Structures are given as structure tokens and as C-alpha cells.
């Protein structure tokens, strides 16, 4: 099991210098990953309209201030971005970090990030754009001349160099709403799956039994050999190490490979009054190994 942190990069955490401090503290405390949200405008997940930091700028700073942590967006709504620009950004950051970037992707579709800004918000359209975008990322990262003709994207000719430091590609983890099966079918073509529970709040978790069901469904669909990550957004106390270890062990038995601790304000307070010290304390307590 590997252990990561998931932080919203807005409110007080829109200060990229503070995010870098927290990433350094996470690395010192023994966490394996440091992941940020990717929002453009206000998110429907939070009740306030706070300042927010652009995720790729923040991740670049984190890459320069850490040495071991894996990091990335969890998740980038790929249909909101031009895939060739994202391909270039990701490769540059992969090289800058000596191969530590993870790319989490999903549909997106939040009102404030799509419809309110005049972007397509139909989920079927976003699903098709996501699939085409992933194919483009893979093709551009090959280091070979590449063409693409899709419904939403068209590339007459492109040849991107250098290829990613990580091979065969920068790891792509696909997020999707459980129990929908379409995200699973998409995820098994890539490198990992991030299940999101329907109607679950940020302080709630999918059960270990549900995660075992998800792992079984993924195994039925997978045809490619090799490593595949199953990511769980988890909550552990940081106070009772034995209880936390027992909790995580149940998820490990279910087949989870990454425990990503949700560090969100409502665990210790509210979005209106950010409990920064409590959030920082949980980071410093380290993972429940």
C-alpha cells in the first residue's frame, strides 16, 4: 500500500508557497504522494467562493521543492483542456520532477467549470472528449509522428519530443462514479482507477467491501498484464495508529494499492473557517503504515 494526501488548492491553500511547505512536511512525514484538486472556478463541492490556485503552476512549484513525493492532479477534467497543451505540460513536468508525475483524469462537468463558462457539459459529449483526449496524450507521448481524426479533435501532424521520462507513459489514473461501468471500461485501458461514491460527502468513504467489489469488476475487464493502481480516498484519525492500521489493512485485502487521505476543512471545522493547524497536524502525523 502507498499513501498519499489530497488537498483542495483554494482558500488559504491557494497560497502556493504554503502548499509547497505542506508538501515538504508530507515528504518528511513519510507520505508517498501529494495530490491537488483541479478547478478553474468555484466548485460545487465547497459552499464558499474562495481564491484558488491554478493546479499546474502549483504542481510545478511542488516538484521543485520535493525530491521523492509522487504528485499530480486528482483529477484534471481532460475535456476542459486542449489535450496537446496538456501533453506538453505533463511531459515538461515529468522531466522536471525526474519522473514523479501522476495524471489523474476524469469527465468533470461541474457547473462552475463548464456550463457557467460556456463549455460543453453533456456527460456523453464529455465522455467522448475524454476518450479522444486520452488517445491523443498517448499518441503524442510516443515520440513518433502522430495524426488524429476524431469527432471533437483533429491533428493533421504533430511530433512531440522529448517523450516522457516515465515509460511507457506518464501513469494515467481514471476517475469515475461507482457503480457506473463505463468508467471502469475506460480505466482498464490505462494505469489506474479512482472510484468516486455516488452521493458520498468529502468526509465519507466507500467501504472495504465495496472496494473489493470494484477490484473484482476491474479484474474481469482487464486484459493487459502489468501493474494497475486502485486508489481509495480515505480518512484515518492519525491519533490511534493501531486502529488506523487495521482500517487500512481491510482495504489492502480488498485490493486497494493507494490510500489517499482526504485533507478537507470539514474534517476539523468548516470551509468558512479553515482549520489549517488541524489539517497540518494530520499531515505531520504521517501515514497509517
- Kindly state the average pLDDT of the residues 11-31: 98
Helix and strand numbers, DSSP H then E, in the chain: 8, 11
pLDDT in tens, 171-200: 999 999 999 999 999 999 999 999 999 888
- Please give the helix or strand (H or E) that residue 194 lies within, else none: strand 192-197
If you average pLDDT over every residue of the chain, what do you get? 95
Q: Cell match 476491474: residue? A: 218
Of 202, 225, 188, the closest CA to residue 271 belongs to 202
d(CA 241, CA 196): 26
Would you say 5 and 34 are in contact if contact means Cβ atoms under 8 Å apart?
yes
Percentage of the residues of the chain whose pLDDT score is greater than 90: 85
Q: How many CB atoms lie within 10 A of CB 272?
A: 11
Would you say 119 and 113 are in contact if contact means Cβ atoms under 8 Å apart?
yes
Confidence of residue 111 (pLDDT cuts 50, 70, 90): confident
- Kindly state the average pLDDT of the residues 279-284: 98
Of 288, 252, 289, 284, the closest CA to residue 27 belongs to 284
- Kindly state the average pLDDT of the residues 158-169: 97
Report pTM.
Answer: 0.96
Q: Burial-class residue 154 by CB neighbours within 10 Å (0-12, 13-18, 19+).
A: exposed
pLDDT at 30: 98
Would you say 94 and 165 are in contact if contact means Cβ atoms under 8 Å apart?
yes
Please report, for the chain, the start and end positions of each structural domain, with discontinuous segments joined by +.
2-285
pLDDT at 46: 65
| DSSP conformation class of 74 | T
Higher per-residue pLDDT: 153 or 44: 153
* CATH C-level class of 2-285: alpha beta
Rg for the chain, CA atoms, rounded: 18
Work out the end-to-end distance of the chain between its first and last CA atoms, rounded to an integer number of angstroms. 8
pLDDT at 201: 84
pLDDT above 80 for 249: yes
**12, 89, 185, 196, 270 from 179: Cα distances, Å:** 34, 32, 12, 9, 29
pLDDT above 80 for 13: yes
pLDDT at 231: 99
Would you say 36 and 19 are in contact if contact means Cβ atoms under 8 Å apart?
yes
Q: Cell match 507520505: residue? A: 31
pLDDT at 115: 81
Weakest-pLDDT range from 128-132, 206-210, 224-228, 234-238: 224-228
- Kindly state the average pLDDT of the residues 223-248: 94
pLDDT above 80 for 42: no
pLDDT at 224: 82
pLDDT in tens, 84-106: 999 999 999 999 999 999 999 99
pLDDT in tens, 44-68: 666 667 899 999 999 999 999 999 9
Amino acid at each position: 500500500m502507498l499513501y498519499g494526501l489530497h488537498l483542495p488548492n483554494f482558500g488559504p491553500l491557494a497560497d502556493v508557497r504554503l502548499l509547497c511547505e505542506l508538501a515538504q512536511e508530507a515528504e518528511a512525514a513519510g507520505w508517498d504522494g501529494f495530490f491537488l484538486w483541479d478547478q478553474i472556478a468555484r466548485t460545487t463541492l465547497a459552499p464558499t467562493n474562495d481564491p484558488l490556485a491554478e493546479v499546474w503552476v502549483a504542481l510545478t512549484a511542488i516538484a521543485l521543492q520535493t525530491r521523492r513525493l509522487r504528485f499530480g492532479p486528482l483529477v484534471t477534467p481532460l475535456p476542459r483542456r486542449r489535450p496537446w497543451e496538456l501533453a506538453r505540460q505533463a511531459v515538461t513536468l515529468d522531466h522536471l520532477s525526474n519522473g514523479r508525475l501522476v495524471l489523474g483524469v476524469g469527465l468533470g462537468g461541474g457547473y462552475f467549470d463548464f456550463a457557467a463558462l460556456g463549455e460543453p457539459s453533456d456527460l456523453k459529449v464529455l465522455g467522448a472528449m475524454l476518450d479522444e483526449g486520452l488517445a491523443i496524450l498517448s499518441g503524442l507521448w510516443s515520440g513518433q509522428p502522430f495524426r488524429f481524426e476524431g469527432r471533437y479533435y483533429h491533428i493533421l501532424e504533430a511530433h512531440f519530443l522529448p517523450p516522457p521520462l516515465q515509460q511507457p507513459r506518464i501513469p494515467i489514473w481514471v476517475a469515475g462514479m461507482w457503480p457506473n461501468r463505463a468508467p471502469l471500461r475506460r480505466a482498464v485501458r490505462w494505469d489506474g482507477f479512482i472510484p468516486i461514491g455516488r452521493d458520498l460527502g468529502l468526509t465519507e468513504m466507500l467501504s472495504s467491501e465495496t472496494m473489493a467489489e470494484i477490484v473484482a469488476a476491474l479484474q474481469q475487464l482487464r486484459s493487459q498484464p502489468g501493474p494497475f493502481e486502485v486508489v481509495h480516498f480515505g480518512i484515518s484519525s492519525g491519533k490511534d495508529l493501531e486502529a488506523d492500521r487495521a482500517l487500512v489493512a481491510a482495504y489492502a485485502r480488498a485490493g486497494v494499492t493507494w490510500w489517499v487521505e482526504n485533507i478537507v476543512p470539514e474534517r476539523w471545522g468548516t470551509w468558512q473557517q479553515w482549520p489549517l493547524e488541524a489539517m497540518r497536524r494530520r499531515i505531520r502525523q504521517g501515514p497509517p503504515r
